[in-house]
């Protein structure tokens, strides 16, 4: 072995530049792939996290945008994959926020508002009746949880409400929020034991189709 065999091989400046360009274009491709695939934040079942499938988040986002309009304001309550879908499809003039308990979603900066349904009106500095539409998907199929989430929804909305929760919550949801069940059935990336439904308090465009 000669001395030079022990040395770290040196790359020429041209080869280094070519390598750097390759790694940087690879990083860009990977980041746009993960954006188009939706959430790369995994479900934590202890927090009752069940993510919508692609079709469901897409339809909900379309409905929210239809209601809010180009420069509207949309609040996603405990519905992070809807918030993420909206980032892909909304015009820049449309405002969206995510109220969420899971602090992993604080990666969304000022759009993230820490939210615990047990303190339904602790909402940072959010103004009353300042969102064109509020979409909520509370963590538990329990009256107490829906009652408290309903307080938040009513505080934030100018009027329009979309709720995604279990079919068993129908009567309580009607009483608390004046919503009715929509023909569109929300689906999740995993099959859940409970039947889920979308509810709204207005005539919807995209949630009006029975997709069973
Ligand atoms: C049934 S999942 C709804 C997620 C929705 N399907 C989606 O894909 O965006 C319930 C959501 O409630 C959140 N959550 C858990 N505990 C909470 C709490 N104490 N207060 C408010 N939200 C909570 C979870 O992190 C989760 O995002």
Which residues make beta-bridge pairs with 165?
Answer: 197
Sign of CA dihedral 41, 43, 47, 51: positive
Tens-digit pLDDT profile for residues 67-126? 999 999 999 999 999 999 999 999 999 999 999 999 999 999 999 999 999 999 999 999
Cβ–ligand 1 distance for 48 under 6 Å, the answer: yes
pLDDT of residue 183: 98
Cβ–ligand 1 distance for 78 under 6 Å, the answer: yes
Please state, rounded to an integer, the average pLDDT across all residues of the chain: 89
The whole-angstrom separation of Cα 197 and Cα 184 is 8
pLDDT of residue 5: 52
For the cut 80, the answer to whether the pLDDT of residue 186 exceeds it is yes
Rg (CA), the chain: 22
Which positions ≥6 away from 81 have C-beta within 8 Å?
A: 38, 39, 51, 52, 57
Going by pLDDT thresholds of 50, 70 and 90, the confidence category of residue 191 is: confident
Which one of 137, 190, 194 would you pick to mutate in the ligand 1 pocket, going by the greatest count of ligand atoms within 8 A of its CB? 137
Which positions ≥6 away from 163 have C-beta within 8 Å?
A: 135, 136, 137, 153, 173, 177, 179, 198, 199, 200
Cβ–ligand 1 distance for 102 under 6 Å, the answer: yes
Cα–ligand 1 centroid distance for 172 (angstroms): 19
Tens-digit pLDDT profile for residues 138-164? 999 999 999 999 999 999 999 999 999
Going from N- to C-terminal start, the domains of the chain cover: 9-36, 45-200
The percentage of residues in the chain with a pLDDT greater than 70, rounded to a whole number, is 84
Cβ–ligand 1 distance for 53 under 6 Å, the answer: no
Cα–ligand 1 centroid distance for 22 (angstroms): 39
For the cut 80, the answer to whether the pLDDT of residue 169 exceeds it is yes
For the cut 90, the answer to whether the pLDDT of residue 20 exceeds it is no
pLDDT of residue 212: 84
Cα–ligand 1 centroid distance for 43 (angstroms): 10
Cβ–ligand 1 distance for 47 under 6 Å, the answer: yes
Give the residue ranges of DSSP H helices in the chain: 13-36, 54-68, 80-89, 143-156, 170-177
Cβ–ligand 1 distance for 84 under 6 Å, the answer: no
Cβ–ligand 1 distance for 112 under 6 Å, the answer: no
In 101-195, DSSP assigns E strands to 112-114, 131-136, 157-166, 180-181
For the cut 50, the answer to whether the pLDDT of residue 203 exceeds it is yes
Tell me how crowded residue 191 is: count the other CB atoms within 10 A of its CB: 7
What's domain 45-200's superfamily in CATH? Vaccinia Virus protein VP39 (3.40.50.150)
Read off the pLDDT of each residue in 4-18 and give the average, rounded to a whole number.
64
- Locate 125 and state its tokens: 């500095």
Cβ–ligand 1 distance for 56 under 6 Å, the answer: no
Residue tagged 């091989």 (tokens): 9
Going by pLDDT thresholds of 50, 70 and 90, the confidence category of residue 6 is: low
Cα–ligand 1 centroid distance for 101 (angstroms): 7
- Per-residue burial over 17-40, b = 16 or more CB atoms within 10 Å of its CB, e = otherwise: eeeeeeeeeeeeeeeeeeeeebbe
Ligand 1 atom closest to 79 (CA): 9
Q: Please work out, in degrees rounded to the nearest 5, the angle formed at the alpha carbon of residue 201 by the alpha carbons of 103 and 123.
A: 30
**pTM reported for the whole predicted model:** 0.84
User: Is 204 in contact with 63 (CB distance < 8 Å)?
Assistant: yes
Cα–ligand 1 centroid distance for 19 (angstroms): 42
Q: How far is CA 5 from CA 1, 2, 11, 137, in A?
A: 6, 6, 15, 63
């Amino acid at each position: 072995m000669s001395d030079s065999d022990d040395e770290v091989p040196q790359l020429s400046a041209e080869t280094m530049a070519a390598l750097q360009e390759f790694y940087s274009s690879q990083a860009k491709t990977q980041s746009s792939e993960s954006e188009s695939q939706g959430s790369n934040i995994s479900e934590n079942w202890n927090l009752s996290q069940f993510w919508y499938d692609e079709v469901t988040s897409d339809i909900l986002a379309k409905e929210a945008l239809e209601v809010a309009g180009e420069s509207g304001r949309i609040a996603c309550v405990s519905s992070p994959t809807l918030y993420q879908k909206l980032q892909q499809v909304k015009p820049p003039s449309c405002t969206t926020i995510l109220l969420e308990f899971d602090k992993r979603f604080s990666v969304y900066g000022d759009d993230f508002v820490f939210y615990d349904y047990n303190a339904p009106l602790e909402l940072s500095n959010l103004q009353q009746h300042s969102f064109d539409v509020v979409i909520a998907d509370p963590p538990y199929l329990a009256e107490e949880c829906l009652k408290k989430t309903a307080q938040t929804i009513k505080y934030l909305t100018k009027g329009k409400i979309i709720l995604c929760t279990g079919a068993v919550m129908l009567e309580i949801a009607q009483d608390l929020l004046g919503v009715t069940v929509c023909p569109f059935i929300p689906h999740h990336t995993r099959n859940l034991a409970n039947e889920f439904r979308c509810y709204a308090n207005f005539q919807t465009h995209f949630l009006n189709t029975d997709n069973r």
